[in-house]
């Protein structure tokens, strides 16, 4: 009888290296898919949050201006001018044939802080201030400070919050911008038309 060949158990070094390479590639792909899915989710959440913030701010502004007396709007300059601050008084009703107005109020853009603020009794004792939103751009989306109507809306160099008065209708334009995933800027702009009371 000849010598028997002994059978070796286990893997060769080459087989082990190939297996480790395949496992590394699979794990690398799993990490890349997980990371890109996580970044996409974060970006979608940032977009949704920004859109909600924009909608809520415009709703607050609209509710305040709907109750305002159109004759109380200050400054009262009509279209094509815009204002980043609008003062008004709410019409509370009529007594003895005269319109009763509430306390003076103001909605204003504070550009240095990128905030929209509401002020009741501005400059008076007992003045109240509330911040309605942050992350407002200095200029409306698509607009540059160059004396030209860059975004084609009939206004020149309008700020991130712009009020345009057209009789008893106020057009409100608002742009909010924030950092998104991957150092990308998320910018959203909305416009709302609000009809004030005619009194």
Average pLDDT of the chain, as a whole number: 86
Give the highest mean pLDDT range of 3-7, 37-41, 42-46, 116-120. Answer: 116-120
User: Which pLDDT score is estimated for 7?
Assistant: 62
Angstrom distance (rounded) from CA 15 to CA 17: 5
123 DSSP assignment:
T
User: Which pLDDT score is estimated for 170?
Assistant: 92
3-class state of residue 198 by DSSP: coil
Sign of CA dihedral 163, 188, 154, 146: positive
Chain segment 21-80, per-residue pLDDT in tens: 988 888 888 888 777 777 777 778 878 888 999 999 999 999 999 989 888 888 866 656
Element at 133 (helix H, strand E): strand 128-133
């Amino acid at each position: 009888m000849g010598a028997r060949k002994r059978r070796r158990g286990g893997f060769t070094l080459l087989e082990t290296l190939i297996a480790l390479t395949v496992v590394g590639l699979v794990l690398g792909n799993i990490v890349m898919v997980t990371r890109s899915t996580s970044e996409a989710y974060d970006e979608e959440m940032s977009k949704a949050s920004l859109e909600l913030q924009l909608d809520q701010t415009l709703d607050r502004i609209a509710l305040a201006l709907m109750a305002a007396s159109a004759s109380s709007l200050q400054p009262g300059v009509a279209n094509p001018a815009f204002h980043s601050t609008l003062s008004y008084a709410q019409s509370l009703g009529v007594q003895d044939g005269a319109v009763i107005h509430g306390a003076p109020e103001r909605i204003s853009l504070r550009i240095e802080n990128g905030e929209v603020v509401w002020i009741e009794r501005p400059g008076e004792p007992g003045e109240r201030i509330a911040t309605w939103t942050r992350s407002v751009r200095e200029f409306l989306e698509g607009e540059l400070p160059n004396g030209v109507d860059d975004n084609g809306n009939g206004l020149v160099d309008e700020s991130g919050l712009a009020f345009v008065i057209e009789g008893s209708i106020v057009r409100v334009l608002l742009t909010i911008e924030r950092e998104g995933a991957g150092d990308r800027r998320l910018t959203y702009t909305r416009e709302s038309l609000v009809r004030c009371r005619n009194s």
